[in-house]
Amino acid sequence: METLFDPGLDLALERMIEAPPRALWACWTRPDLMEQWFCPVPWKMTDIDLDLRPGGHFRGVIRGPGGEAMPNVGCYLDVLPERRLVWTDALAGGYRPKPEPFMTGIITFEPAPGGTLYRAMVLHADAEARAKHEAMGFHDGWGKATDQLAALARRL
């Protein structure tokens, strides 16, 4: 099922990356690789635990340079190897509802000449949540993380 982008509710990033889908997929699904790119430096994702299947969990801690620690917990909704990864923080593993849902992420990897068309779409329940995410630095943060992702994937 294709999700249509709603500019009033959603945020998106799209980029051609000179790496095959399998390399980008590895960066999104191997904790040792995720730690190297997932947050813009000097931030870092640590303690990553992934159960890559619909209903499976993702867990990690986003750590900041000042000692900040933000748990990141959610549930995978769709896992299509090397093509599509969908998750939400509205649920924990096993589809257990969580308080204060914020977003659903859809990552796609489309093979293209010279690499992969990489798309990240982030869905929000309302315009307020979208605005909050944008104010948190979505474009800069996800953009820098994607730069790090691309650099790592090209080396694999």
DSSP 50-66: E--STT-EEEEEEE-TT
Tell me how many domains the chain contains.
1
- From residue 98, how far is each of 85, 90, 147 by CA, in Å? 20, 5, 31
For 70-106, what is each residue's pLDDT tens digit? 999 999 999 999 999 999 999 999 999 998 888 999 9
Question: What pTM was estimated for this model as a whole?
Answer: 0.93
Has residue 150 been placed in a domain? yes
pLDDT tens, position by position, 13-53? 999 999 999 999 999 999 999 999 999 999 999 999 999 99
What domain range includes position 126?
11-155
In a domain, 106, yes or no: yes
